Structures are given as C-alpha cells and as structure tokens.
C-alpha cells in the first residue's frame, strides 16, 4: 500500500478508537483502524432473550466466560488466552480485556455521568495527583455533542456533582422502581440525594437504533442498538463515509519512528497467520485502552526514544488508577412478599446516590480527599441465584420461602475516586512475552489510606441506610482493606499516559498529543489526569471527539505534516 | 462498566459461598481447633464417605463459544445410572411436583447436577466429590438406620433422614455438621436450576424479560401502595423521593 493510503492510523475500536475514527472520517480524513480482536456482529451474535436454562451450567461464570456464559466478551475477561500479564510481589491487579471489534463497549454498564468542575481540579483543592489541563467549561459543549451522538438517558438535577446537559440533549429516564425508591427515602433522611442515573441507553429511537424495550441484560450486548456500543453506532457510521478501513485480528506491537523520532509506521501481528506487518502511518492515534496503549509505547524503543516512545518524562505506565469498589448487601424484611411486577426496566440503575460530600470535604470533616457514589443492585431479577437468606428444609415449604424472599435483597455498590500513588503503575516485564512474541505488562499495586478511609466511610453510610430500612445489619464494619475490591476489578483503569501542561510530568498535552512526538496521539483513558468516581467511558468519548476534531484542524492547516 | 453485576443465575459468589459453607463447620461451637481438624472430626462423626475421584479432563466450551444460540455443554455426563436414580429421589424430595409445577427431575434439575459435577472447571471440580459423596452418604445412612438402601426404604424413612440434615440446627450436631452443609449447597444448586427452568420462572412469579413498546411502565399501583405502607412503617414517608425539576 502507498504511504498516502491513510491520513491517520487508529489503534483500537472501543470508546476512544471508534470515536476517533468517527470524528476524523466525518471531517474527511482517511482512517485505518487496527483492532486486535476478531470481527464481531452484534446483530446476529447477541443472545437477547436466550434463557439461562439453555446455556451450559445455567450460564454460570467460568474461567472461559468470567461474567457468565452470555456476557458479550470474546476471547477475554480477566485472562486472554496466550496473552498473560505479570504482577510484582504483593500485588494483586486484574486486567479485563476483550479481543473483539468494539472492545469493552460491547458489554459495559453504560453509566454515563459527566465529570464536574470539582473533578478537573482535584490537585488544586487537596494536593493529590494532578489537575487536568483545562476546566469543566472547556469540555461542557463537547459533552453535549457526545451525549447527543451516543444517546444518553437521564435528567438534569442541578446537583453540583452532576453538571446539567444543555436542554433537549438527554433522553427521558425510566421511572424509578420500588427498592430504589426505598433506598432514596432512607438516604434522604441522612441528607443524601438520589438522582436518575445517566446511561447510554436510548429511550427514544435514534439513527438506525431502536429505543430500549426494557428486557434482556445489557452486558450481553444489544442487537437493536438501544444500549450504546461502537459496533452498532460509531463504527458503521464511520464506515458509511467510505473513509474508514477496519483491520481486525491486528495485534499492534509497536510504533516505528523516523530519524527525527516522529512516528512513521505501526507494526502489528496478524493474529490469523502470526506474521508481523508494518503499515505506514502519517499520524498515529493510540486508543487500545490505558494499559495496552502504554504497553505499545514502552515496547516502542528506538535510538530517538530509548525509554520507550513519548516517555522522556518517565510517566508512561505511571499514575495507574482504577475506581475504588466495595459492595454491601442486606435483606430488607419489609420487601418480602411484596407485589410482583415487571421490575426489569433497563436492567441497571434507574436511581443512584451521587456524591454529596463536597461541602463536608471543604470543611475538613472527612479523612479522605475524593468522592464516591452508590449504585444499587436489587429487584425482581430473572430467577436463578436470588435467595437472599439461606434456604431451610425441603419440599413445598422450602419453595414457599424462596418465593417469599424473592426481590427483598438490596446491594449497594460503592464506586469511588482513588488518587494516584507511587506504588501503582505498570511497566514491561522483560522476561515474559505473549504468544505473539510481544513483551507483556507487569503491574504494581497498593491502595493508599485515602482509598481505605473512603471505603470505611462508605461502609458506614451503607450500614446506616440499611438500618433505616429495618435490615438486621451488624454495627461493626468490615475491615476496609478486606472490603475494597482489587485493583483493576472495577475495570476503570486510566492515567498511564496522562495529559498535562508540562512535558516534565506528563505524557501528552491537553489534546492528547505526545509532547515528544507531534504526530502521535493517545485517545483513551490513559490520558486522564485523575480518575473521578464517575465511570470513565463518557469522558473518554467526549475528550476523543474534542481532540480528534483538533487533530483534523491541524492536518487541514498543515501543522502536522 | 460498572461491570459490577454479572448475569443472574448461579453467581460466582454463590458458588464460593457454598464452598465456604462446606468448610465453615469450623464456626460450630462444638469443637475448637484448626479448620482441618474440625472438618476431619465432623467427617468421622458423620461417617462421611469422602470419595476420591479422578479429575475431569474434558474440554470446556472455550473463550468464544457461540452465544446465539448457545452451545450444549461439550463435556460428557459422568454420573452413573445409580447416582442419577439416587439424585432423582433426593432432588424430588427437595422440589416435589406441586400442582401444575413440575418436580425437580421433571424440570431438568438432575440433568443440570450431572452437567455440573461433570464440568471441567475448577469450581465444579471442587464441588463434585462433595455432591457424589453426599449421594453415597444417603445410601449408607439409610442402610445404617433401616438395613435398606435409600431407594428401597420407605418414603417416611427417606424424609426422616432429610429432616435430620435439612435445617440449620443440623449444623450444630457433629454427626450432621458435614452432610448438612453439603445438603445446603446441593439445595441451592437445585433451587437455582429449578427456578431458572421455564416452569420454575413461572412458579417464582417473574414477569419480566418481555419486550415493552414505549416507556417503561414502572411499578404497578399495588406495588406503589405497598411501598407507601413500608415507608410509613419505617418513618420515611417525609423523605419519599421527589423527581428533580428537569432543566
């Protein structure tokens, strides 16, 4: 192929890669997208109404399918066959990957909360980590455009942790359900607001995508396109421009540079043949996920970039963050035997509890720096594993009790912000390569007191909510170090190629452009300067739309040639 | 995601809970000591058969099985005809036919248990000797009590054995400590399998997983009336959720 075949080579097809390809092709740029996994067609492959009874082991999680048989993830999960990663001593870190077109967007939770003005300036407020190189106001119009393109349901609340969208951007949220209303009332008594969750779920038809019909778990993927995933939206839309070429089974190993140290090509392994291939790349956009993009950079060593590409700051792989997580469950006696109705809704939170503690933090009343929110898991779910209390006896009496207990359990899931620390980072393991011969990532991880104190606060809050609901919960709290989920387990890893205002302590500028290599961009969660407690995907897409638009302008001006 | 909610069904947590339960005899106040000692004592007192089995070496379904439609479990079933007959008798005592609703075996629960104990995955491999030993225990216990096998003894005698192991109190009696925990695990597996079968879903009363045109209708009037009563009883009526004024 000629050197002029593409204007930009994009690595990855998930939230960042597909948005980059969509934005660039809409602006007239020719894009080659390289995806490590196989091609994937949600329309034919998604098990929409298939029953657990039809799946092996009733759909139970196994080492082959970590989130259950019907989860959309292909050739992935906590382990990818033939593609290991390693951990330092005393480290537990879990790295979820998918090997499929659309990546993790095919099964994500679709929670889509904007970061707020608090979130972009945490360092200025408390001295931890780093500020983002811009204010909320800079991103606000891009959030509007992204929400409109993606399709997000929710409501403007006026709460300071939930910035409003412009009028008519959000689609109407579904009505709250009984257990959510119950938690909202108990939280309200504690001064904690409840709010409609924002989710990338259509409640009105859009483009070729149908509105949600309130059935089947979104983690299976969505053949009607109601639940956002790039394989039913951004990728086909970008293809329709005629300017996008998609190459699947292309496992990128490294970015090659010219004598000046500028990117000139991308080398990938053709997973079907195992052969390496090199494709010329006037501009490279890495959007392979925070840790995979950092791995590619660290594996792209050259005379010009001896520490790995774009790593003169030494920050590639550093500042690795996940969300904090902790779950607490209780049986609510008052919910036993309640009237049954169809409680599926869009199968995830209609209401949640956003962070309410900014004022307490400003007054110095909390022993941790950043916020968290609570998600809820409850309801009359498809029967199977939902017997909140131990069954007793046998026969019709045992069955009666199982029916009576149905829908009486509530789980509160804390999701919080961690601050970056020197103990949490990834590097390349020089001794281990994957089946393609590519050196693998090695993780280091340790929660700090910030996260443990935050989880302690959350455990106490959840206990107080459950007590107000009449649940029999112990006063004594679990040990936060035991309750907190493992690093990576919430699957919100970001920060490994962070953006900033100086080449000394950041990898890219505010546009995701590498300080050390002007035709190399990172457009995934790696560029996050902090990891606000809200899920990262909406902001990955928003930032990518903004930065890919800027990239197209630079190309038009000849500023990157 | 919030990838915090794996699919309904038999969750990993539930399976682990079962394994934990089997070793949790250590929490019984009867005896103290290290976990292994307690388990050994409980097994001895309960005449636990403790089958030593060859590991399953079959292949799993792999990391990219066809989801739509799902594949059949590719590993061969391994329970013997006698084990299946015993399992059928015990599982049908747990979940008997009730009006129009089928018994455990009619709803495919025995097939699921066979598929489960025959699966090559670690969790299933760990529960396999527990379940298969429990079947032997029921046979031997029946012999000890009546001189007849479990299948040959009377329904009344069968129920008498279940009465001794199916309730929480059994855990505090050393001779039933082990079997009662395994019975609990088997009962959970049976309940999950039954209530996720097409008939069991109806028995539970689940009315979801049907497409609805238009907006989600929300709670029924009866459900809202019930909620108001609960909020009132809990003293939370004043804090009832108010919808935000949309901007």
Question: How many angstroms separate the Cα of A72 from the Cα of each of A37, A105, A201, A521, B160?
Answer: 13, 10, 17, 29, 47
Q: Nearest Cα to A57, choosing from B51, B131, B208, B74?
A: B74
Q: What is the pLDDT of residues A88-115, one digit of tens each?
A: 999 999 999 999 999 999 999 999 999 9
Residue in chain B closest to A468 (alpha carbons) equals B234
* CB contact (8 A) between residue B209 and residue A216: yes
Residue in chain B closest to A59 (alpha carbons) equals B9
Confidence of residue A278 (pLDDT cuts 50, 70, 90): very high
pLDDT at residue B73 in the model: 97
Q: Which residues from chain A sit within 8 angstroms of residue B58, using beta carbons?
A: none
Q: What is the pLDDT of residues B100-120, one digit of tens each?
A: 999 999 999 999 999 999 999
pLDDT at residue B4 in the model: 43
Length of chain A: 561
Please determine, for residue B25, whether its predicted confidence score (pLDDT) is greater than 80: no
Q: Does B125 touch chain A (CB under 8 A)?
A: no
Other C-beta atoms within 10 Å of A26: how many?
18
Structure tokens at A55: 């799946």
- Return d(Cα B246, Cα B198) in angstroms, integer: 41
Residue range A56-68: mean pLDDT, rounded? 94
pLDDT at residue A100 in the model: 98
Instruction: List the single range of A183-192, A292-301, B190-199, B219-228 with lowest mean pLDDT.
Output: B190-199
- Return d(Cα A104, Cα A40) in angstroms, integer: 12
- Return d(Cα A534, Cα A114) in angstroms, integer: 7
Confidence of residue B5 (pLDDT cuts 50, 70, 90): very low
Q: What is the pLDDT of residues A507-529, one digit of tens each?
A: 999 999 999 999 999 999 999 99
Residue in chain B closest to A40 (alpha carbons) equals B64
Q: What is the pLDDT of residues B203-215, one digit of tens each?
A: 999 999 999 999 9
Nearest beta carbon to residue A334 from set B7, B233, B246: B233
Query: What DSSP string runs through A423-490?
Result: T-EEEEEEEEE-TTSPEEEEEE----HHHHHHHHHHHHHHHHHHHHTT----SSPPPHHHHSPPBTTT
Residue range A338-342: mean pLDDT, rounded? 98
Nearest beta carbon to residue B94 from set A71, A172, A398: A398
Task: Report the gap between the CA of B82 and the closest CA in chain A (Å).
Answer: 22
Please determine, for residue A445, whether its predicted confidence score (pLDDT) is greater than 90: yes
Q: What is the pLDDT of residues B62-78, one digit of tens each?
A: 999 999 999 999 999 99
Q: What is the pLDDT of residues A308-318, one digit of tens each?
A: 999 999 999 99
- Return d(Cα A6, Cα A280) in angstroms, integer: 8
Task: Report the gap between the CA of A73 and the closest CA in chain B (Å).
Answer: 8
Confidence of residue B172 (pLDDT cuts 50, 70, 90): confident
Name the pairing type of β-strands A8-11 and A31-34: parallel
Report helix, strand or coil for B238.
helix
Which positions ≥6 away from B83 have C-beta within 8 Å? Answer: B132, B135
Nearest beta carbon to residue A382 from set B66, B67, B209: B209
Nearest beta carbon to residue A391 from set B11, B187, B193: B187
Which positions ≥6 away from B80 have C-beta within 8 Å? Answer: none
Structure tokens at B247: 């901007």
CB pairs under 8 A between A and B: 336
pLDDT at residue B21 in the model: 46
- Average pLDDT over chain A reads 97
Cross-strand bridge partners of residue A153: A171, A199
Report helix, strand or coil for A514.
strand
Q: At what angle do helices A178-189 and B221-233 cross, to 10 degrees?
A: 30
Instruction: List the single range of A269-278, B32-41, B75-84, B182-191 with lowest mean pLDDT.
Output: B32-41
Task: State the Rg of chain B over Cα.
Answer: 22
pLDDT at residue A385 in the model: 67
Which positions ≥6 away from A556 have C-beta within 8 Å? Answer: none
Confidence of residue B40 (pLDDT cuts 50, 70, 90): confident
Q: Are A302 and A506 in contact (CB under 8 A)?
A: no
Q: What are phi and psi of A80, to 5 degrees?
A: -110, 130
Confidence of residue A389 (pLDDT cuts 50, 70, 90): confident
pLDDT at residue B38 in the model: 78
pLDDT at residue A561 in the model: 75
Structure tokens at A500: 């900033």
Residue range B222-233: mean pLDDT, rounded? 98
Q: Are A178 and B227 in contact (CB under 8 A)?
A: yes
Question: How many angstroms separate the Cα of A547 from the Cα of each of A37, A132, A554?
Answer: 25, 14, 10
Confidence of residue B27 (pLDDT cuts 50, 70, 90): very low
Between A244 and B5, residue with greater pLDDT: A244
Question: How many angstroms separate the Cα of A402 from the Cα of each of A134, A232, A408?
Answer: 54, 39, 11
- Return d(Cα A357, Cα A92) in angstroms, integer: 30
Which positions ≥6 away from B169 have C-beta within 8 Å? Answer: none
Nearest beta carbon to residue A384 from set B195, B216, B217: B195
Q: Which residues from chain A sit within 8 angstroms of residue B167, using beta carbons?
A: 392-393
Mutate to test the interface with A, among B92, B208, B242, B243 (most CBs of A within 10 A): B208
Please determine, for residue B12, whether its predicted confidence score (pLDDT) is greater than 50: no
């Amino acid at each position: 192929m000629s050197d002029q075949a593409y204007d930009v080579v994009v690595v990855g097809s998930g939230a960042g890669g597909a948005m980059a390809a969509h934005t660039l092709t809409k602006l007239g740029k020719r894009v080659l997208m390289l995806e490590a996994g196989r091609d994937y067609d949600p329309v034919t492959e998604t098990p929409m109404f298939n029953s657990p009874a039809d799946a092996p082991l009733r759909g139970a999680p196994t080492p082959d399918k970590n989130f259950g048989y019907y989860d959309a993830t292909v050739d992935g999960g906590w382990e990818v066959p033939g593609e290991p990663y390693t951990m330092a001593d005393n480290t537990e870190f879990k790295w979820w990957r998918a090997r499929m077109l659309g990546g993790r967007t095919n099964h994500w939770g679709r929670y889509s909360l904007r970061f707020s003005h608090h979130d972009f300036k945490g360092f200025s407020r408390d001295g931890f980590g780093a500020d983002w190189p811009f204010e909320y106001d800079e991103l606000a119009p891009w959030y509007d455009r992204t929400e409109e393109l993606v399709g997000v349901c929710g409501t403007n609340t006026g709460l300071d942790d939930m910035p409003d969208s412009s009028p008519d951007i959000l689609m109407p949220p579904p009505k709250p359900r009984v257990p959510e209303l119950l938690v909202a009332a108990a939280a309200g008594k504690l001064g904690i607001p409840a709010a409609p969750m924002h989710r990338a779920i259509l409640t009105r038809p859009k483009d070729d995508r149908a509105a949600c019909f309130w059935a089947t778990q979104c983690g299976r993927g969505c053949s009607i396109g109601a639940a956002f995933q790039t394989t039913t939206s951004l990728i086909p839309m970008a293809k329709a421009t005629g300017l996008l070429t998609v190459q699947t089974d292309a496992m990128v190993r490294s970015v090659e540079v010219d004598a000046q140290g500028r990117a000139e090509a991308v080398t990938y392994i053709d997973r079907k043949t195992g052969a390496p291939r090199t494709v010329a790349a006037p501009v490279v956009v890495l959007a392979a996920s925070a840790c995979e993009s950092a791995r590619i950079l660290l594996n792209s060593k050259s005379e010009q970039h001896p520490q790995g590409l774009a790593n003169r700051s030494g920050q590639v792989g550093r500042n690795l963050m996940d969300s904090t997580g902790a779950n607490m469950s209780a049986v609510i006696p008052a919910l036993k035997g309640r009237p049954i109705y169809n409680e599926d809704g869009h199968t995830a939170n209609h209401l949640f509890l956003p962070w309410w503690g900014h004022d307490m933090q400003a007054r110095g009343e909390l022993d941790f720096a950043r916020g968290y929110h609570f998600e809820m898991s409850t309801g009359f779910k498809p029967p199977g594993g939902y017997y909140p209390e131990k069954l007793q006896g046998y026969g019709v009496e045992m069955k009666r009790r199982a029916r009576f207990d149905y829908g009486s359990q509530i789980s509160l899931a804390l999701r919080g912000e961690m601050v970056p620390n020197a103990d949490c980072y990834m590097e390349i393991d020089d001794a281990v390569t994957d089946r393609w011969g590519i050196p693998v990532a090695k993780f280091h991880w340790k929660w700090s007191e910030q996260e443990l104190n935050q989880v302690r606060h959350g455990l106490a809050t959840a206990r107080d909510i459950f007590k107000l609901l009449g649940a029999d919960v112990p006063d004594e709290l679990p040990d936060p170090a035991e309750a907190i989920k493992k690093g990576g387990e919430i699957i919100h890893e970001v920060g490994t190629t962070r953006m900033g205002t100086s080449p000394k302590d950041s990898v890219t500028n505010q546009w995701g452009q590498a300080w050390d290599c002007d035709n190399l961009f990172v457009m995934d969660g790696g560029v996050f300067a902090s990891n606000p407690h809200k899920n990262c995907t909406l902001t990955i897409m928003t930032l990518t739309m903004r930065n890919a638009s800027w990239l197209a302008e630079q190309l038009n001006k000849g500023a990157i040639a | 995601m919030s990838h915090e909610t794996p699919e309904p069904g038999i969750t990993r947590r539930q399976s682990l809970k079962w394994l934990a339960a089997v070793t949790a005899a250590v929490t019984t106040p009867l005896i103290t000591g290290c976990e292994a000692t307690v388990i050994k004592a409980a097994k001895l007192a309960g005449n636990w058969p403790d089958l030593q089995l060859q590991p399953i070496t079959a292949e799993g379904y792999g990391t990219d099985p066809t989801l739509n439609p799902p594949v059949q479990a590719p590993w061969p079933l391994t329970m013997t005809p006698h084990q299946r007959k015993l399992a059928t008798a015990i599982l049908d005592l747990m979940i008997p036919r009730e009006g129009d609703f089928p018994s455990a075996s009619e709803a495919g629960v025995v097939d699921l248990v066979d598929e489960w104990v025959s699966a090559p995955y670690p969790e299933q491999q760990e529960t396999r000797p527990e379940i298969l030993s429990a079947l032997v225990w029921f046979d031997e216990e029946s012999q000890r009590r009546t001189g007849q096998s479990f299948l040959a003894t009377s329904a009344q005698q069968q129920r008498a054995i279940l009465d001794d192991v199916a309730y929480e109190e059994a855990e505090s009696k050393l001779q039933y400590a082990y079997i009662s925990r395994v019975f609990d695990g088997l009962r959970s597996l049976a309940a999950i399998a039954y209530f996720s079968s097409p008939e069991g879903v109806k028995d539970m009363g689940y009315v979801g997983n049907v497409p609805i045109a238009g907006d989600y209708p929300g709670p029924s009037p009866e459900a809202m009336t019930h909620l108001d009563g609960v909020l009132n009883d809990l003293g939370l009526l004043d804090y009832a959720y108010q919808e935000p004024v949309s901007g």
